[in-house]
């Protein structure tokens, strides 16, 4: 259960000193004079994903869906994280421009958090929006079995919607009795990835939510799937895009259909219909719509005709395009299986970034970066996908300003993950203002696992 946006705003403004959020949100969650404080674990648990059956899962604080962490732009948040798994893990805060020490990539930014150990993440988010969190170790298994959650950063000056719903979109690799199937099939890893078969929103198959009639509602969608790209549409009501990947757009845009690849987010504004009426968020497959969640309106004293609240833009540094340096990145297929490793297991490598497959790393072996960038300088990344499969390309610690998609100029927009379709091409600029070694990879987890990953160094 999440704290609603209205409840969060009410609690945040009513008590300036300390406050206690509902216990169902996290083990411990409170606001203090030093910012927001949470306690979080990763641990084995069970969940009823397929109705009538229990499935062994991995859950943040043992929960599916994971607790939604809420904090505020420009205010410190502290997450005291304890690893209760039987293997090492970390947490990466996807989309947040935070110091490298808090980025959650093992060896590159922090030591792995061993079983039983606690690590304290502390950062002050400069941007408001919809983000998410997940491990960056044994990612196929840890994400695939449930270690995914939302982090919502409220605007520094409250933006007043009447209602809100966080929606974590995920397909699980389960059969009809909730038993696990293979999370990764190598021959599929060399294509689009291994898709799950049981679709859920917040761990429920086709859930129904209630909204007050005429409530101006913010829907925060996050694709936390290992593999699947969701073409999102809304049926039964007009929806408006108000933010892409955590970053507000300058003017709301009518939603027709919008693709969100793994790791990507989409914020929509809708005015709930009159009591008794409903609308659906759907996934498009060609011309056919498949329901993901239904929203039904119930009686309230709200009246129709509200304007969509204005959401301030995030303080993304403006790129100096006149003096930008262009760096080229080509994402392609290698199509090979490496020889067996020392323990006799084959290690598949299918994908290349600039003719390099990610070779892995350890404390004593950090590979060379894909690119070394000068701190404070503007760069344009020219991204080319020369394969027939989609690649959502994610850069840690920075936010892109997308300039072109598939050879055509676009109204510039901000994102941390650029979705390249079949033979797709994009140009994205950013100011390399955050020093560190930043992971840079495809967010189809199997593509990342089998070669499509590296890092850039900013110094």
Share above pLDDT 90 across residues of the chain, in percent, rounded to a whole number: 86
pLDDT band at 341 (very low <50, low <70, confident <90, very high): low
pLDDT score at 14: 32
pLDDT band at 335 (very low <50, low <70, confident <90, very high): confident
pLDDT band at 359 (very low <50, low <70, confident <90, very high): confident
Kindly tell me if the per-residue pLDDT of 326 is higher than 60.
yes
pLDDT, tens digit, for every residue of 2-46?
444 444 444 443 322 222 233 234 555 666 677 899 999 999 999
CA atoms within 13 A on the CB side of 118: 10
- List, in order, residues 6 or more apart from 236 with CB less than 8 Å away: 273, 277, 278, 279, 280
pLDDT, tens digit, for every residue of 59-98?
999 999 999 999 999 999 999 999 999 999 999 999 999 9
Please give the radius of gyration of the chain, using alpha carbons only, rounded to the nearest integer. Answer: 21
Mean of pLDDT values over 319-327: 98
CA atoms within 13 A on the CB side of 90: 19
pLDDT score at 340: 65
336 vs 431 pLDDT, higher one:
431
Tokens 């969509």: give the residue: 308
pLDDT score at 15: 27
What is the location of CATH 2.60.40.420 in the chain?
A: 5-154, 163-298, 321-458
Mean of pLDDT values over 344-349: 74
Kindly tell me if the per-residue pLDDT of 183 is higher than 70.
yes
CA atoms within 13 A on the CB side of 323: 8
Q: What is the DSSP letter of 221?
A: E
CA distance 424 to 318: 25
Cis status of the peptide bond prior to 65, with omega within 30 of 0: yes
Query: Under CATH, to which class is 5-154 assigned?
Result: mainly beta
Domain 321-458 has CATH 2.60.40.420: yes
pLDDT, tens digit, for every residue of 101-125?
999 999 999 999 999 999 999 999 9
Kindly tell me if the per-residue pLDDT of 372 is higher than 50.
yes
Annotate 32-94 with DSSP letters as a single string.
ETTEEEEEEEEEEEEE-SSTT--EEEEEETTBSSPPPEEEETTS-EEEEEEE-SSS-B--EEE
CA distances from 351 to 141, 331, 444 (A): 20, 7, 11
The pTM score is 0.92
CA distance 196 to 16: 45
pLDDT score at 220: 98
pLDDT band at 134 (very low <50, low <70, confident <90, very high): very high
Ranges 268-277, 327-336, 338-347, 349-358: which has the least confidence: 338-347
- List, in order, residues 6 or more apart from 289 with CB less than 8 Å away: 233, 235, 280, 282, 283
Share above pLDDT 70 across residues of the chain, in percent, rounded to a whole number: 91
pLDDT, tens digit, for every residue of 406-457?
999 999 999 999 999 999 999 999 999 999 999 999 999 999 999 999 999 9
Kindly tell me if the per-residue pLDDT of 172 is higher than 90.
yes
Query: Under CATH, to which class is 163-298 assigned?
Result: mainly beta
Mean of pLDDT values over 258-273: 98
């Amino acid at each position: 259960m999440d704290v609603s946006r209205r409840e969060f705003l009410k609690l945040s403004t009513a008590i300036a000193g300390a406050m206690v959020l509902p216990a169902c949100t996290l083990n411990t969650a409170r606001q203090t004079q030093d910012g927001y404080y949470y306690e979080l674990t990763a641990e084995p648990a069970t969940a009823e994903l397929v109705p009538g059956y229990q499935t062994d899962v991995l859950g943040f604080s043992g929960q599916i869906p994971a607790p939604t962490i809420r904090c505020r732009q420009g205010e410190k948040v502290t997450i005291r994280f304890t690893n209760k798994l039987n293997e090492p893990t970390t947490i990466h805060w996807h989309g947040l421009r935070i110091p490298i020490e808090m980025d959650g990539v093992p060896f590159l930014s922090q030591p792995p958090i061993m079983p039983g150990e606690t690590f304290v993440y502390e950062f002050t988010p400069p941007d408001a929006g919809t983000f998410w969190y997940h491990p960056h170790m044994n990612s196929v298994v840890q994400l695939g079995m449930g270690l995914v959650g939302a982090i919502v950063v409220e605007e520094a000056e409250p933006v007043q919607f009447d209602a809100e719903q966080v929606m974590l979109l995920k397909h699980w690799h389960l059969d009809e009795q909730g038993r696990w199937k293979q999370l990764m099939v190598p021959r599929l890893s060399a294509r689009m990835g291994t898709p799950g078969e049981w679709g859920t929103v917040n761990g429920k198959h086709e859930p129904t939510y209630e909204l007050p009639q005429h409530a101006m509602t913010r829907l925060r969608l996050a694709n936390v799937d290992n593999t699947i790209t969701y073409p999102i549409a809304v049926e039964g009501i007009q929806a408006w895009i108000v933010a892409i990947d955590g970053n507000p757009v300058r003017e709301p845009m009518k939603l027709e259909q919008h693709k969100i690849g793994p790791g990507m987010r989409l914020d929509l504004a809708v005015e709930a219909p009159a009591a008794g009426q409903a609308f659906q968020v759907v996934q498009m497959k060609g011309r056919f719509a498949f329901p993901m969640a239904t929203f039904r309106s119930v009686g309230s004293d709200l009246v129709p005709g509200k304007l969509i609240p204005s959401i301030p833009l995030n303080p993304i540094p403006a790129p100096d395009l006149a003096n930008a340096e262009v760096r080229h990145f080509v994402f392609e297929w290698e199509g090979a299986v490496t020889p067996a490793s020392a323990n006799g297991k084959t290690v598949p490598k299918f994908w290349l970034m600039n003719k390099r497959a990610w070779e892995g790393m350890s404390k004593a072996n950090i590979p060379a970066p894909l690119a070394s960038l000068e701190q404070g300088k503007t760069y344009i990344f020219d991204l080319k996908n020369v394969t027939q499969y989609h690649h959502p390309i994610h850069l840690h610690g920075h936010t892109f300003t997308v300039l072109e998609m598939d050879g055509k100029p676009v109204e510039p927009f901000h994102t941390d993950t650029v979705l390249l379709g079949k033979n797709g091409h994009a140009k994205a600029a950013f100011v390399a203002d955050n020093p560190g070694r930043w992971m840079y990879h495809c967010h189809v987890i199997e593509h990342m696992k089998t070669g499509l990953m590296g890092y850039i160094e900013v110094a």
